[in-house]
Amino acid sequence: MVKVTRMSDMDENPGLPPDLRFLKTLVTILTGVMIVGLITVVGLLVTRLPGAAVTLPEALEIPEDAEIVAVTQAPSYWLATTTDDRLLVFAPDGGFRREIALD
């Protein structure tokens, strides 16, 4: 004869062995620490990274024979390179300062 056990007769939540309970606690703590660490890193990046905006001049006074390839900003001037290997230097307000030949 086969013995039939009902679910109500069985223990619904058998206790975990002590080693597994300890491991489960460690994993839970590690997860919490990682979440707090990630939030801290994102918060520090958002608050500490410089958010200096680029100030653009209204226009650059480009010579008529120049075709611009690239433009870059330095703290006190703008630089533009041309297709005919010249470097044009502009004031922060966009006024033309000087021209340098690139060899």
- pLDDT tens digits, one per residue of 14-62: 688 888 999 999 999 999 999 999 999 999 998 888 776 677 778 888 8
Q: Give the pTM.
A: 0.49
The string of pLDDT tens digits covering residues 62-79 is 888 889 999 998 888 999
Distance, CA of 88 to CA of 97 (rounded, Å): 8
Long-range Cβ contact pairs of 17-24 (< 8 A, separation 24 or more): none
Residues 90, 78 contacting (CB under 8 angstroms): yes
Distance, CA of 56 to CA of 92 (rounded, Å): 8
